[in-house]
Structure 1
């Protein structure tokens, strides 16, 4: 634990220095205290106590994140893996440099005078209104952060010092850019944790709630915290409000095929005529498929069926010990098996396909293998939702593929699979301010009830991952970027060359996607050798995809020219309001316009058609 303790001390030192500089600025400006606010400016003894408290908080975090066998609880996403980066953060800390300290004290003094002037205090009294503070952040949007100068100063000083620490990381010498990006990410994570909004005694909204409820909010919060630590996962929503097949994943259909890895759902037609060429959707197996069938208003599946498509959905099995030997090859074989099964079932030569995220990456490999085998005509078109094949600019998930973190993942993979709670914790870290700290403030400190939100319920419905596949994927694709190198990878006995793919493709990216950045998704269209329609959708990895026309949200951009880069695409793109789904269905009709009667096996379970069970099936309900 020596390394952990040292790194915790590094973080405590940074926080202590932030407090010390704040106190020194206050003393220089206004003496030992502000009129009417005795004790606002901490003395050295108080500063030391804050530092010790921060160290204790860090130790509690680490103790909660480790078990007797040294395997971390998924809730914490192994904070010990940040330690090397934290030591670099301490080295980059501008608060420890005397010259920078003086500059920051001067800047802090100016900030304090400006803020307090709006409250009629200090040498600049009678200046700006209290509501007009220099720095804005939604964590401090509640009016309570401005009603008293103590809280205004507290959060404004925090924001100033956080800015300067982040700038110091940007200017740190002798560091590779990839290492700097990791340090930026870790710095942001630590600074988010240090926010005064996260502590009851420094959050005026929490203090007011605590007084109003005689502390019941904190009692409720601690009970929730204990429960979340026990289950190893943060709670974001009232999951009791949702039942599969009742109010989520409700589009009618039947499971028509099943293997040890997946179930294949065919949805019932909603029109008398349907397109002859059916659609097979491959969702990512790191999440449940019903993100595309959340409820009738949001469901891409229901909407596609209503447009006349015969829709098949793959429902992947959450990994268990029986899948310890499953590799990437097995998922490619599963995609080929699903394509062949649908072709045989409906007696059609080809299918449309959709691959979402990691399943889109795998679909590209599948198409390359089919092309090399002379079987490319099995797929009439391929649509990619936020999918990557070139991982050079793969975003913040690349922070989790260095040797230290890969070894942590290996150790955490017990029984041949990785507990899905680890992935949930990782994705939470990517948006820590919203998915970790805001959740803790709202539900642990304020005691707010959990919302009944279907998207958050889906987000917490985790799926286990086969350990061998996960290791291959992170090393070969994210770390070594081998998929875009022709014949560098082999799957199912066939080498992979994405340049062989001539299948018409529709490539969708999310403008604000932090999991599959649009710069990375764009490269997929540059690798393929068939016709490609690239669409940039508003919002991110989920909302950018799940955006039904009826919602009236967001927008999308099309460029019908021949842009050579994403920047050129943006410069010449035409913005269209609303959902890109309507553009996609028009494109699908262009690929295969023929329609037929929705009879026979187009209606799963009708007549003599033997099916396994009703949608959504068993696999989606297994943990």
Structure 2
């Protein structure tokens, strides 16, 4: 009890430190509520029978369920009815959800409620398809939030654990909650991984190299060669600045950085600065300038007039802006470009549709005007709610209700090591690219030029991932289709945004589709004409890259520079 009292006081103190955010970043605006209310009123006026039918269906299912349970108790039969089909929802794997009448009743009623809510939302005749999408998404968020597994009295696993440990699991759960709230400055953000299990540069991100340049926005790392000879043309990688670059170097056995170096390439990787409020006025053009500065440095260090560039996620989006600018300037020093899970055509917004409307974007704009940055935990929270059961409620149950420590999982550790975004850059990206889709439409204005995807005419290869929910491969494919190059290839890896890219040949885990260079139709037709190959896409991409790599020369050792990889910027947290 003393521990509980002490922890409760700490929790109250930590919660009091929670910063105030603009309401627009916390929930959809009132316009969506008004739109849904008008749609319901319209349905009530024009088709009252449909609403009555929905209500009768819901209450009929509820009363039938209640009658069944009453019948069992009346007969003294305290076992739940046999399920007609096996339970597929992993939240209800505990046999007690089926065999115990209390838990079975709770689960069944939850499922009845969830189905009724989904049907009610879907049957509203919303005036705007985007509003309908957002309403369906919000409805599913509410359904997930009120799942019985999220509450101690209706979670058999948590109750069993508390009984087995004589309540110790609940105290540890409170300790985990207090730790998370204190760590995140009053925000309730569940830890996905053990923060003490990894140290960048010690047991992850350990590929050897040197920081050869340090600029305001980035450090440039040159990795040490592992072969006597290397291809003359260097490779320069631009990771996303939403997270840290070491996703490409988590462990030696799945490190894309090490694999590229082992194939005989001089590899440079940008490690982005984690911006604080002093970077509030840093915009997209500043990142494009940083790309050009990094290219200047690679050219100076290697004395090579050409390089091959790689951009990952938003790093690839900004690479497309940079290449369009270079094309208009007549700068041809990039031999080829590779895009990892990159969106450049935002005409379809997919699962991000709820977050890319005016109310949410205006909320973010107000937030960054106030604070100067879009804080990393806000971005992480947004991404997490795209997969709420896996990245929010599931970890919260294990940590807070079960009292379990977060796992020592390197990928989840990296996922929690996010960075802030500069205020102006955030608005530039959301308004100019995501909402207005200027790269495809009228052109993105930058540095006196009007940049379009059609300006990009160099050889390019794009890698999409089949189950990617952040940058869906079909949207990525459509962006490549609109680029002006006559020499372009597309590879679709199995799995998602991270696992599909970090997919080493040694694992022999996920296969890939490639070989079809026809961009005249649509993504589905392209996939039907592509060839499936088991295993990693890395060798397929490297085979595509080889014609652009130059002759073999003596390996280049990095200069002394500013210290060993992974550098200092990668350790910054604000």
Q: Does 1:200 align with 2:152?
A: yes
Q: CA distance change for structure 1 residues 479 and 294 in 2, over 3 Å: closer, same or farther?
A: same
* Superposed CA offset, 1:29-65 (max 9, x none): xxxxxxxxxxxxxxxxxxxxxxxxxxxxxxxxxx999
In the alignment, does 2:123 pair up with 1:167?
no
Q: Which has the higher contact order (CA 8 A, sep 6+)?
A: 2
The answer to whether structure 1 residue 104 and structure 2 residue 65 are counterparts is: no
TM-score by length of 1: 0.82
Quote the residue 2:542 is aligned against: 585
Q: Does 1:604 align with 2:555?
A: no
Structure 2 residue corresponding to 1:572, chosen from 518, 522, 529: 529
C-alpha change, 1:205 and 1:192, in structure 2 (3 Å) is same
Residues 68, 110 of structure 1: CA spacing in aligned structure 2 closer, same or farther, 3 A cutoff? closer
1:603 positional shift: 0.5
2:387 pairs with one of 424, 427, 431: 431
C-alpha contact (below 8 Å) 1:66/1:72 kept by paired residues: no
Is the CA contact 1:85–1:186 (under 8 Å) kept in the aligned structure 2? no
Q: Distance in 1 between matches of 2:233 and 2:277?
A: 37
Alpha-carbon distance in 1 for matches of 2:379, 2:14: 18
Aligned runs of 1:294-373 on 2, under 5 Å? 294-373=250-329
Change (3 A) 1:415 1:109: closer
Residue 447 (structure 2) pairs with residue 447 (structure 1): no
Distance 1:180 1:559, change over 3 A: farther
Normalised by the size of structure 2, how large is the TM-score?
0.89
Shift of 1:228: 1.9
The answer to whether the 8 A contact 1:510-1:537 is kept is: yes
After TM superposition, the structure 1 = structure 2 runs for residues 212-251 of structure 1, keeping only pairs within 5 Å, are: 212-230=164-182, 231=184, 232=187, 233-251=189-207
Question: In the TM superposition, what is the alpha-carbon distance from 1:555 to its structure 2 partner?
Answer: 1.4
SS of equivalent to 2:254: coil
The verdict on how the C-alpha distance between 1:262 and 1:603 changes in structure 2, with shifts beyond 3 A counting, is: same
CA-to-partner distance for each residue in 1:153-183, whole Å, 9 max, x for gaps?
Answer: 3223322331332232222113311111111
Quick one: which of 86, 109, 113 aligns to 1:157?
109
Contact 1:287/1:462 (<8 A) preserved: yes
Query: Secondary structure of the equivalent of 2:536?
Result: coil
Give deviations 1:404-453, integer Å, cap 9, x for gaps.
22232233334422211111111111111111100111110011121100
SS in 2 for 1:568: helix
Note the aligned Cα RMSD (angstroms).
3.0
For 1:172 and 1:387, the matched residues in 2 are separated by 34
Indicate whether 1:402 and 2:357 are aligned.
yes
Q: Secondary structure at the match of 1:240?
A: coil
Q: Tell me, in whole angstroms, the C-alpha distance in 2 between the residues paired with 1:382 and 1:161.
A: 50
Indicate how the Cα distance of structure 1 residues 459 and 83 shifts in structure 2: closer, same or farther if over 3 A, else same.
Answer: farther
Do 2:488 and 2:517's aligned partners in 1 also have CA atoms closer than 8 Å? no
Seen in structure 2, the aligned counterparts of structure 1 residues 83 and 359 have a Cα distance that, compared at 3 Å, is same
Tell me, what secondary structure is at the counterpart of 2:343?
Answer: coil
Partner residue in 2 for 1:516? 471
Aligned partners of 1:115 and 1:565: how far apart in 2?
A: 52
Unaligned stretches of 5+ in structure 1?
1-62
Change over 3 Å in CA distance of 1:143–1:78 after alignment to 2: farther
Larger mean Cα displacement after TM superposition, 476-485 or 190-199: 476-485
Is the CA contact (8 Å cut-off) linking 1:500 and 1:529 kept in structure 2?
yes
Query: Which whole-Å CA distance do the structure 2 matches of 1:142 and 1:253 have between them?
Result: 49
Is the partner of 2:532 in helix, strand or coil? Answer: strand
Question: Kindly tell me: are residues 561 and 494 of structure 1, through their superposed partners in 2, closer, same or farther at Cα, counting changes over 3 Å?
Answer: closer
Structure 1 residue 620 corresponds to structure 2 residue 570: yes
Residue ranges of structure 2 left out of the alignment (5+ in a row): 1-12, 45-49
Q: Which of 199, 211, 214 is residue 258 of structure 1 equivalent to?
A: 214
Matched, 1:187 2:139: yes
